[in-house]
Every structure is written in structure tokens, then in C-alpha cells.
Amino acid sequence: MSTPLPDPSSEQLPFEPRRPVADADRQRQSWNAIEARLQEAPVKKLPIAGWGRWWWAAAAVLLLLAAGAWWWQGRSGAGSATSYDLAYKTISTRFGEKRRILLPDSSVVILNSNSELKLPADWLLDTLRQVWLRGEAYFEISKSKQPGVDYFLVHTDRLDVKVLGTKFNVNAYTAQTTVALKEGRVELLYSQRPGRSAAGLRVHSMKPGDVVTVDEGPVLTPMLATAPPDVMADWTSNEYHFDYTSLAEIGRMIEQRYGYEMEFETAALADRTMSGHLRADNLDQLLQALQITLNIKIEKKDQLLKVSVP
């Protein structure tokens, strides 16, 4: 059954074409708001008295052993969860959800929708700090206080990011992986051979403003671009920055983050482009902005977004 979106003209559009990036005060307000929404609720402990406490302890051991059989794997559309096995803790988000994670070393990770972050269950600050990412996340890595272990590693299917205390974004939803450096310094470690073989290992150093994409293919070659650091990871504050971005590209982003596939009435619609900066707190607000700006009609049907000319 098709569900028409609300009439875009009935609400104020959170969109301004090609306006300057928000000033520092507004960015700080947006950051505070997103942190408040994403902060995980504290876990409440319930007292267990008498012999029942032994029963629950035995059940916990059985659950832990069962979790140990589960291994890291991609799960499209996985529900928000935190799970454990014997060696790792895995945190995941649903479509349309973001989650803020405070690591034991005081580093901060904002995990985007439909993503997973795996980290060691027993995090030791005097050993190598490392996490594994599927999907997208923004990182603010604190500097290590341990001599000789001064870096942090983010692993993806295509490459590793070696961090020396910095702020950056990693998009690894697909085989194409993109790293955008906002502040500090990172090194990309990748192999030009298929898989994650150490043979042919390459190192690529990045500076603030760099955006490096490693595309899928038999030979991995990084593609370098630049972007204003202030618009990198703008999704963490529910903002979007488009620069002649095609509707087809926007559709792929929506599918990754919200789980809706975009279907076009004609091929020409997919080629329409959008430029500007907007804030959208949810999918409906984003679709309303697209309808007005690109003069299109969008209908929701199951997990499809049907795009046509009004």
C-alpha cells in the first residue's frame, strides 16, 4: 500500500541552497543535541536473593558460551544491539538510528545507521587499540598515554586506518571505502592484491581536508579528493551537504541509512542533481526537501520510494 508523504508546502523546509556552513555556535548546539539523544541509558541492576542467584549465574554462563559461537559478519538492517562473544563486543544500529559510544580510552565513536562496530571485550589500555567497522562511523580518537602504543587502528574490509589522535569519518557500507580526515593525521594501510594479504602493502598519508576512496576491483588504487572539514561527518548532527549530487547517489545513501530503495519512473529523474545544505531529523523531512527542490513526487510503498514527476 502506497503512503503519500505530507504536503511539503504545509511545513517549513529545513533547506537553504548553497548557504555557508553553520557558524561555530550552531555547530556546538547541534553537537550537544545529538549527544543528548544518542547517550545510552544506564543499565539497572536488580538484586537476586537466595538460591535463585545460582540459577541465574548458570544461565549467564550458558548464554556466554552460546554467544561465543557467533562471529563477526555483516547483517543488513540489523536491529540496535550490543552483543558479546568470548573475545569481542559488537554494537549495532538499526536503519535510521545513530549511537554514541564512549571507548575505555575516552575516544568517542558516533555509529551511523545500519552499521556495526566490533571491539575487544577485554579492552587493555596498555595494548594495541583497535576496532572493526561495517557501515559508517565518525571517530574522535584520544591520544594514547602508553609509550610505544601510540596509535589506534580501524579495520574495514578494504583497508585499515592508522590513527595518531585525530577526528575522521569512515564510510565502509560497501566494497568502496571512503575516509575523510577532519583534523590531525592518519595513514591508510591497504594491499593492492585481492583480499587482505600483507603482500603488496601500501601506506597513504592523509592531511586535514583529504577525502580518500578505495574502490572495489582487482587492483586497489586510492582516489584523492578534498572537502571542507566543517562538512565532513555532517550526518552526526542530522545535516546533509550536497554539491551537484545526483538523485541516484542520494538514493543509494538513503538505502544504506534507512533501508528504502529508490525507484525512478524515468531514467532522467535519477540524473537530476541537488546542491545545498540542509538539516533533516528524519527520512520524511529529507524526502520533503527533495520533493520541493527537485520538483518531484515521492511515494512510500513497502520498502520502496517511488519517484515520479508531479
CATH of the domain at 263: 3.55.50.30
Specify the DSSP element, H or E, that contains 254. helix 247-258
Residue 148: domain span:
24-39+59-230
Smallest CA-to-CA distance from 93 within 75, 80, 112 is with: 80
Query: What Cα–Cα distance (Å) separates residue 210 from each residue in 127, 132, 216, 240?
Result: 29, 22, 20, 18
Give the model's pLDDT for residue 21.
Answer: 39
* Co-location of 191 and 122 in the same domain: yes
Q: Are residues 6 and 113 in the same domain?
A: no
> Of the candidates 276, 239, 77, which has an alpha carbon nearest to the alpha carbon of residue 173?
77
* Within a domain: 297: yes
Residues 6+ apart with CB under 8 A from 206: 179, 181, 185, 186, 187, 188, 212
Q: What is the pLDDT of residues 112-127, one digit of tens each?
A: 999 999 999 888 776 7
Residue 47 located in a structural domain? no
CATH number for the domain spanning 170: value is: 2.60.120.1440
In a domain, 45, yes or no: no
Q: Which of 40-49, 149-158, 227-236, 298-307 has the lowest mean pLDDT?
A: 40-49
Q: Which amino acid is at 40?
A: E
pLDDT digits (tens, 9 = 90+) for 250-263: 999 999 999 999 99
244 in the same domain as 219: no
| Average pLDDT taken over every residue of the chain | 76
Among 198, 230, 262, the domain boundary falls at 230
Write out the DSSP string of 137-160.
EEEEPPPP-STT---EEEE-SS-E
Sign of CA dihedral 269, 270, 275, 279: positive
Q: Which helix (H) or strand (E) holds 293?
A: helix 283-294
Has residue 50 been placed in a domain? no
Q: What is the pLDDT of residues 49-106, one digit of tens each?
A: 333 433 333 333 333 323 333 333 333 344 567 776 668 899 999 999 999 999 988 9
Asked if residue 288 and residue 159 are part of one domain, the reply reads no
The 10s digit of each residue's pLDDT in 141-183 is: 998 877 667 789 999 988 899 998 899 999 999 888 899 999 9
DSSP, res 90: E
* Paired sense of beta strands 116-120 and 129-140, if any: antiparallel
Mean pLDDT on 227-242: 87
CA 205 to chain centre: 22
Amino acid at 70: W
- HSE-up of residue 127 (Cα within 13 Å, Cβ side): 7
The DSSP letter of residue 25 is H
Find where cell 559510544 sits: 101
| CA dist., res. 258 & res. 270, Å (int) | 18
Regarding whether 272 and 125 lie in a shared domain, the answer is no
What's the total number of domains in the chain? Answer: 2
Cβ distance 109 to 139 under 8 Å?
yes
Residue 156: its pLDDT value, please?
93
Residues 245, 216, single domain; the answer is: no
292 domain-assigned: yes
**Assigned domain for 48 exists:** no
According to DSSP, residue 77 is labeled T
Q: Show which of 230, 246, 265 is a domain's final residue.
A: 230
Evaluate whether 187 touches 162 at the Cβ level (below 8 Å).
yes
Query: Alpha-carbon distance 86 to 260, whole Å?
Result: 35
182-212 pLDDT tens trace: 999 899 988 765 555 555 677 888 999 999 9
Look at residues 181, 212, 230 and tell me which one is the last residue of a structural domain: 230
Query: Who's near 87: CB < 8 A, 6+ residues apart?
Result: 120, 121, 122
C-alpha–C-alpha distance, residues 109 and 119, integer Å: 12
Give the CA count within 13 Å in the CB-facing half-sphere of 2: 9
- Helix orientation angle between 283-294 and 247-258, rounded to the nearest 10 degrees: 170
Give the pLDDT of residue 296: 94
54 lies in some domain: no
